Amino acid sequence: MNLPIPEQEKLKEVENFATSKVRTRASEIDESSSFPVDLIKEMGEIGVFSTYIPKEYGGLGFSLGTLMESIRIISRECASTALIPDVTVSLFGEPVLKYGTESLKKKYLSRISMGTIGALAITEPAAGSDAAAIKTTATKKGERYVLNGGKTFITNGGEAEFFLASAVTAPEKKHHGITLFALDKEMSGLSVGKEFRKLGIRGTSTTEVLMDNVEVGEEQIVGNLNEGFRIEMDTLNVGRIGIASQAIGISEGAIMDIISYDRKFNGHLKENAMFKLADMINQLHSSVTKYNESISLVEAGKDTTLLSSLSKLQAGDSAVKITSDAVGILGHHSMTSEYPTERRYREAKITQIYEGTNEIQRVIVAREIMKLGAPSF
């Protein structure tokens, strides 16, 4: 990726932070399922949250590539620590930046730049892959809206100061009747429910978010009334590149584990393991190529639906395969916390699930190709 010098320098700083601070904490964060408060504070200070936020809102005004590369670098050490700014910036900051009013931008983006955490709340108990099946309602009451319903499996739920939540505003219009509302944690009627224990990314909080007569003015609507579903899909096109960057970082970490294992045991890897390593590099290269291409499309203002889905699909499936094979190659060593490989194996799985499962990515890819009439790469 060709980045300007100041952005490359920022990435060196992020790498130094990741290898010196995150690496030493990752195992303990996973074992204790603890939210890395100190690392979040430091990421706020060094600018991980602010890379992509424009200067007029207190950010560094760097490219999407620099945000994504930061997530990739941190994911090599700890996928939980990387996910927290990723979700905040790409799932809350990005739609506010692209669709929010000037006053919403001023209200939220400068806080994100300083490391304040945000979340995107779409999923409900009966609305996961089918995001249009939500039951949360926003009912008009004079000039205001009253929200009622419950979201589930919301990343950053426990620590977010603000949420972007989807609600039905025109039930008869199905997915054309959904609106996105920016909600503040302290709003009356908004509460955080159950927190889930997870297979991986245990340092992030994943919770229910409950709305019981949460009253907001129409100035809290992001985009236009009933435009929420389209904005969600557009947001996920960028979000999925973030998940690809996370999956690539996890894969790179697992490959580095194999290299350091081989060096420690003086060329201990068998021929079979070398073959697997070559396959890993092949998969990783394919993931990185698609990921780079999708970032270029976003930066050029082009439609990235196909490439974002391909990136997430390729990088997520590869991360699961690469980490699984890495666990196999390290043999009994990998079953202990002597190597971080078993943690990476558990971290990789979620990249096939959230922001649209990889089955849904396959549906999108097939649909996009049918629309185009032919693959034209």
Ligand X SMILES: Cc1cc2nc3c(=O)[nH]c(=O)nc-3n(C[C@H](O)[C@H](O)[C@H](O)COP(=O)(O)OP(=O)(O)OC[C@H]3O[C@@H](n4cnc5c(N)ncnc54)[C@H](O)[C@@H]3O)c2cc1C
- For ligand X, which stretch binds (CB under 6 A), given 153-161, 184-192, 269-277, 328-336? 153-161
Burial (0-12, 13-18, 19+ Cβ within 10 Å), 118:
buried
Q: Could you say whether residue 153 binds ligand X (CB under 6 A)?
A: yes
Rg (CA), the chain: 21
Q: Shortest gap between Cβ of 25 and ligand X (angstroms)? A: 20
Residue type, 110: S
Q: Decide if residue 354 touches ligand X (CB under 6 A).
A: yes
Length of the chain in residues, anyone? Answer: 377
Residue 355 designated active-site:
yes
Per the CB < 8 A criterion, the answer to whether 86 and 235 are in contact is: no
- Candidates 3, 187, 363, 365; binder of ligand X (CB under 6 A) is 363
Instruction: Report, in Å, the least distance between residue 341 CB and ligand X.
Output: 21
277: number of Cβ within 10 Å = 19
Between residue 206 and residue 265, which ones bind ligand X under the rule CB under 6 A?
Answer: 206
Between 123 and 314, name the residue whose CB sits nearer to ligand X: 123
Nearer to ligand X, 170 or 199 (CB): 199
Query: Token pair 């992001």 is at which residue?
Result: 222
Q: Give the helix, strand, coil percentages of the chain, each rounded to 5.
A: 60, 15, 25
Closest distance to ligand X from the beta carbon of 174 (Å) = 16
108 is a site residue for ligand X (CB under 6 A): no
Catalytic residue among 159, 342, 347, 355: 355
Indicate which single residue of 1, 225, 256, 353 sits in contact with ligand X (rule: CB under 6 A): 353
Question: How many C-beta atoms surround the C-beta of residue 371 within 10 A?
Answer: 9
Q: Give min distance, CB of 108 to ligand X, in A.
A: 17
- CA nearest to 165, candidates 201, 116, 127: 127
Per CB under 6 A, does 155 bind ligand X? yes
Which of 22, 120, 315, 364 is the binder for ligand X (CB under 6 A)? 120
Burial of 76 (0-12, 13-18, 19+ CB in 10 A): buried
Give the interface with ligand X as residue ranges (CB under 6 A).
87, 119-123, 128-129, 153-155, 198, 206, 350, 353-357, 359-360, 363
